[in-house]
Structure formats: C-alpha cells, structure tokens
Structure 1
Amino acid sequence: MKMIRILFFATASLTTTVAAPAQETIDGSNVEAILDIARGYGKAITEHDAGEDPLITGRLDGLIYQIYFLNCTDNQDCEDVNFYMGFSALTPSLETVNDWNRSKRFSRAYIGEDGTPNVEMDLDLAVPVSVEYMRSVFDLWQLVSTQFAEHIGYIETE
C-alpha cells in the first residue's frame, strides 16, 4: 500500500504543470518598446513617414538608419518593420552590391534611383516576438550595417 501511494504521488507530480511566467512580447503596435531597444544601441527618435506611419531614426556605431513600420492599420498596429540604411556619399559598382547579395543572408542591398547604395532588412511582427528576440534582431542589424559599410568602402577595415 505504501508503494502504491509513492507511485501515485510520483506520477501526479510528473503530470502537474507549472505555468511559466508571462514573457514580455513586442509586435508592430509597440513602437515605444522598439524605440527603447533602439536607444540601447545609440540615439534614436520616433517620427512619422509621409503617410503618417511610425518611423524610428537612429544612430548605430555612427551610422544613421531608419526603421519603417509597414502594413499599418490607421497608422498603428503595423505588421512589419523595415530596417533601412542609405549611403549618399558613395557610388559603388553594381558588382560590389551584387557580391553582397550573393554572399550575405538576412539582408538585401541595392543601388537606389539616385545611384547610392542602400541596405535593408525586414522583420515580420504580425505575431509578437520576445524582447530578447527583438534585441537579437538589433544585434544582427548592427552587424549587417557595419559589414555593409565596410563592404562598400564607407568604413575602412583594419
């Protein structure tokens, strides 16, 4: 009988689940939360684009970038964000930009209509992500933007 009680309590403890603490999440409606993370990497402010959707302009390792909020409902509750950086002082060759796209993942580069190089990275926020994941996206953006600046000769490599 004692053995049956021990087995019962052991089995019951295995089937009991403990609720995990709620994790803070971010989606495309959390402009201020994304701004707070951006400020952890340097100066950043919120603005609005021509269509009145949210826009973050920031500085990352001395490089200016924007985060555009896209697919918004009434200029809020946006489903996507687009990290963007343009370099107006350079005109690299199409071959240089294509080399970036051939050898890198998670971003895309192109030469804009004005002949200047640009790099972008998108994030789908229709489904919330953790704050930790959002920070990892900023880490990736920091790496992408610095490496692209080096790739096109904007920053000299050591």
Structure 2
Amino acid sequence: MFRSALLASTVLCASTLGATAAPDVLTFDDLEAFENLLSGYGSVEFETDSEGDPMFRGRISGVPYSLYFYGCEDHKDCNNGTFVAYFDGDDYVTDASVINAYNNGYRFGKASVDSDGDLEINYSFAFKGGITRVALDDTFDWWRVVLEQAEEFFE
C-alpha cells in the first residue's frame, strides 16, 4: 500500500514538474495590452486612421511615430502592423546612396524618402494567430533600437 501511494505521488510530482505555464498570447483584441507595453517606451495615444482602423501615435526618446495596423476586417481582427517615423529632410541625410547603405547594413527597419523629401523609417511585424507578450515587447524594443540607430545614422 505504501509503495502504491509513493509511486502515485512520484508520478504526480514528475508530471507537475514537467508542465510549464502556457505563454501569455495576445491577439488584436488585446489592444489595451499593446498600449500598456508601448507606454513602457514613452508616450502613446490610441487613435483611428483615415480608414477607421485602430492605430497608435507616440514618442520614443522624443521621436514621434505612428503604429498602423493592416490586414483588418471591419476595422478589427488586424494581423500585422507597421511603425513609421519621419525625420525632416532638411535636418537629416536623404541621399539615395546613404539610404541604400542603411538598408543594406541594418537588419531591422527600412529607410526611404517620402514625397515631401523627408526621411521615413519604418518597421513591420506580424501577429496573425497571436503573439506572446514577451515577443510583442521585444518587437516594440526593436522599434526603439531602430529609431535610435536611424536617427544617429542619418544625422
């Protein structure tokens, strides 16, 4: 009897130790969590874009940015996003060879010049099917890194 109880107890403990907590997976329904994570990097406000889709506007290290969502159905259930920041073309380098050097030299973030001659930096990410809180926070941190590196590169 004692052996049976000990065996059952050992099996139960082993199965409990082997179990790991499920990661906290966020979906587009969790925009408040997106906003909370973004607020850890600077100011952020929830808005809607010209098409009625949700978006965020914020600042990281003083640099204004927008976060647009795409792949939306009826202004919800979006499955990817793009961060965008603009730097005044009069204050930052917008030469094509320098932009190409940045795009070829940096893995995250993409540079281009908009129709007004301003430098545009963007960074896209996907979250179709959900994204863990840790991965989303890492994505937002990479956006911070992209902004800081781009600002320094193009000064």
Length-normalised TM-score, structure 1: 0.83
- 2:19 & 2:136 partners in 1: Cα distance? 24
Question: Structure 1: which 5+ runs fail to align?
Answer: 154-158
Query: Which consecutive aligned stretches of 4+ in structure 1 deviate over 3 angstroms post-superposition?
Result: 6-19
Alpha-carbon distance, 1:23 to partner = 2.7
Contact 1:29 1:78 in 2 (8 A): no
Q: Sort the Cα spacing of 1:8 and 1:28 in 2 relative to 1 into closer, same or farther, 3 A.
A: closer
Q: Pick from 94, 98, 101: which aligns with 1:99?
A: 101
SS of 1:138 mapped into structure 2: helix
Task: Name the structure 2 match of 1:111.
Answer: 113
Q: Which amino acid aligns with 1:129?
A: I
Task: Name the structure 2 match of 1:57.
Answer: 57
**How many correspondences in the alignment?**
152
1:85 matches 2:85: yes
- 2:152 & 2:9 partners in 1: Cα distance? 62
SS of 1:29 mapped into structure 2: helix
Say which is worse superposed, 40-49 or 131-140, in terms of deviation: 131-140
Backbone CA RMSD of aligned residues: 2.4
Identity across matched positions, percent: 26
1:69 matches 2:69: yes
Alpha-carbon distance, 1:16 to partner = 6.9
Contact 1:67 1:84 in 2 (8 A): yes
Alpha-carbon distance, 1:115 to partner = 1.5
